[in-house]
């Protein structure tokens, strides 16, 4: 059952594939803000998947985060999420990201529960 308090966790190592210079978000080789947000979204998304009905998934609709500290290549980073509010199909998460030295980002993230087939059909018919 989907409920407040469900937690998620995802981690990765900062490498060439997720630094700012290689994702178009800057000219420095540090963990990029877009990839930090993607890690936060992944933690949130995967945390609620076991609680959804067959044929359902969730899509991200809003992200409000601050990137607080740079992380160099080679360092481990991770994101934690927690469901803090449920309003019908809208799920709100508290999200935080860390590296081996501490907190690097935090904020909130909203996802909506969708029917995969209906959503995909609607998107294809745009």
Q: Whole-number mean pLDDT of the chain?
A: 98
| pTM of the full structure | 0.97
From the list 11, 12, 21, 33, the catalytic residue is 33
- As a 3-state breakdown, the chain gives helix, strand, coil percent values, each rounded to 5, of 30, 45, 25
From the list 67, 71, 106, 109, the catalytic residue is 67
Distance set, CA 101 to CA 18, 39, 63, 97, 110 (Å) = 18, 18, 24, 11, 27
Q: For residue 122, give the 3-state DSSP assignment.
A: helix
pLDDT digits (tens, 9 = 90+) for 24-78: 999 999 999 999 999 999 999 999 999 999 999 999 999 999 999 999 999 999 9
Under 8 Å between Cβ of 114 and 86? no
Confidence at residue 20, expressed as pLDDT on a 0 to 100 scale? 98
Has 41 been annotated as catalytic? yes
Has 61 been annotated as catalytic? no
Residue 35 has what DSSP assignment? H
């Amino acid at each position: 059952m989907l409920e407040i308090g469900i937690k998620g966790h995802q981690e990765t190592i900062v490498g060439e594939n997720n630094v700012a210079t290689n994702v178009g978000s800057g000219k420095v080789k540090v963990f990029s803000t877009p990839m930090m947000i993607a890690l936060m979204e992944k933690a949130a998304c995967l945390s609620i998947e076991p609680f959804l009905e067959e044929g359902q998934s969730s899509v991200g609709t809003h992200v409000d985060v601050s990137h607080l500290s740079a992380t160099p290549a080679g360092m481990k980073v991770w994101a934690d999420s927690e469901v803090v509010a449920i309003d019908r199909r809208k799920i709100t998460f508290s999200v935080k990201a860390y590296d081996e030295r501490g907190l690097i980002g935090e904020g909130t993230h909203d996802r909506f529960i969708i029917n995969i087939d209906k959503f995909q059909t609607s998107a294809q018919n745009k």
